[in-house]
Amino acid sequence: MPERGHRNIPGSLKQPLADFKVGVDNAIFSVDTERNRLLILLVKRQDEPFLGQRSLPGTLVRQGESLEDAAYRILAEKIRVENLYLEQLYTFGGPGRDPREDATSYGVRYLSVSYFALVRFAEAELIYQTTGDVAWYPIEDIPKLAFDHERILQYGYQRLRNKLEYSPIAFEVLPEVFTLNDLYQLYTTVLGENFSDYSNFRSRLLKLGFLCDTGIKVSRGAGRPASLYRFDSKAFAPLKDKPLVFI
Amino acid sequence: MPERGHRNIPGSLKQPLADFKVGVDNAIFSVDTERNRLLILLVKRQDEPFLGQRSLPGTLVRQGESLEDAAYRILAEKIRVENLYLEQLYTFGGPGRDPREDATSYGVRYLSVSYFALVRFAEAELIYQTTGDVAWYPIEDIPKLAFDHERILQYGYQRLRNKLEYSPIAFEVLPEVFTLNDLYQLYTTVLGENFSDYSNFRSRLLKLGFLCDTGIKVSRGAGRPASLYRFDSKAFAPLKDKPLVFI
């Protein structure tokens, strides 16, 4: 959310310092590569405010706990997963973003440091306390969310698309070996049908030089057998800090 | 600061919630295009802790104030500037990052939401309270900084390099019209001499189609007169949401 150009800045407010509780909210995405669905993890709130409404899984930071540890803690309470990608997304901290803040008294404020995570759908196992308290939702069918979590979700969705364009994040969620069509389906699921045609995508990715043909072919359906590739992290290493576009 | 792979997550700590003060710290960069220097704005601390030491300009968020307003407030107290680019950088909130936190009592913690800003060096006017309390420092000659501000600075420096590679941020700090050599010098100042040779850089940028030749030429030194270009934001608009590499 960049800000450009001139802005009128109000004079020094001379208000006393604000006191904060700090929350961590996770936008956890997965791509169901079997059914070409992009999913987001939502929980049903067990407490006020917004009791019973859906939200991103979150928690308040405890004494002695780092932001990142809080992000991992909430993740570990909701899903079991071996491989994951996690990074900080954005911090939302405007006054009035939580109804527990009393606007008239300028009481304690609630700031949210959001984290973005990507996990393998097939591998992530949900941890239920009660039926339906945690579930994957397709990105195009999200219920009304508590707090400003729709904004956090949209911000995370944009980050996911940027990551696909500029980084090898797709290989964190694909199986070890995959066909180029699997890879293309993953990109199409997140970026939409029109991001690129298959043959351009294929030739661009192969030219980048970090996809390694395993020599194994698979037959799926009626088409010709397709080659299985794997991501070659050694071949990618020298490209790591170079500007790259994947699509 | 992405995290990959499996991680052991400690069991629920059941510690009470932490209380926070929230600081905003600005990594304000400028490129002195006349002397090809990348500069960062530092202040001399007027209070404990780290009294007299250099730090990024920062403040604590006040009651009723948003994070972004705090970022603009501190900026407006240190420099006068018409054009600026500002965006949130990263939030640093681990326990023990501020000596005002008492480790034994787990007292109030100090979280820092950092902002990244880029301003035009020629246009930014420093606001002194006392001589030398605010100054531009060349990036390769930074004194020891208070708190974890060296880390914030490094993070901001990386963001600046990424922005140059993937976004038209350079045109926020160049004058309205510029030669392609001016643009190249700006990139070289930030990314180092070896990022690209001039003729590749030139042909790549021109091919992207958003640099508009004004038809005016300037003579500087002994070389041939050079064409003056301007950034054509209308021609850039359709490219805005596409993945692009500028170098």
On chain A, the residues whose CB falls within 8 A of the CB of B5 are 83-84
Please report the pLDDT score of residue B82 as a whole number.
Answer: 85
Tokens of A185: 């389906």
- Residue in the block written with tokens 């930030």: B190
**What digits encode the pLDDT tens for the residues B126-150?**
998 887 799 999 999 999 999 999 9
ipTM associated with this complex: 0.87
Q: Is the pLDDT of residue B12 over 60?
A: no
Minimal CA separation from A137 to chain B, in Å: 24
Flag if B106 and A63 touch (Cβ within 8 Å): yes
pLDDT tens, position by position, B65-81: 999 999 999 999 999 99
CA distances from A151 to A155, B85, B97, B115 (A): 6, 22, 29, 20
Partners of B20 on chain A (C-beta within 8 Å) are 19-22, 61, 111
pLDDT at position B6: 42
Of the candidates B25, B101, B12, B147, the one whose C-alpha atom is nearest the C-alpha of residue A60 is B12
Domains located in chain A, CATH noted: 20-166 (3.90.79.10), 174-239 (1.10.10.10)
Percent of chain B with pLDDT over 90: 66
On average, the pLDDT of chain B sits at 89
Predicted confidence at residue A134, as pLDDT, reads 95
pLDDT, position B15: 86
Q: What is the pLDDT of residues B167-214, one digit of tens each?
A: 999 998 888 999 999 999 999 999 988 888 899 999 999 999 999 999
Please say whether the beta carbons of B19 and A65 come within 8 A: no
The per-residue pLDDT for A12 is: 45
pTM > 0.95: no
Q: Residue B141 to residues B11, B40, B148, B177, B195: CA-CA distances in angstroms?
A: 44, 10, 17, 30, 21
| Bridging pattern class, strands B3-4 and B54-55 | unpaired
> A33 by DSSP, 3-state: which?
coil
Under the banding of pLDDT at 50, 70 and 90, the label for residue B9 is very low
CA dihedral A11, A16, A17, A18 (to 10 degrees): -100
Q: Which residue from B minimizes the CA distance to A62? A: B17
Q: Do the Cβ atoms of A12 and B77 come within 8 Å? A: yes
For chains A and B, CB pairs below 8 A equal 168
pLDDT tens-digit readout, B208-246: 999 999 999 999 877 889 999 999 999 999 888 777 787
CA quadruple B71, B72, B76, B78: dihedral, nearest 10: 20
> pLDDT tens digit string along B147-173?
999 999 999 999 999 999 889 999 988
Taking 70 as the pLDDT cut, the residues of chain A under it are: 1-13, 102-106
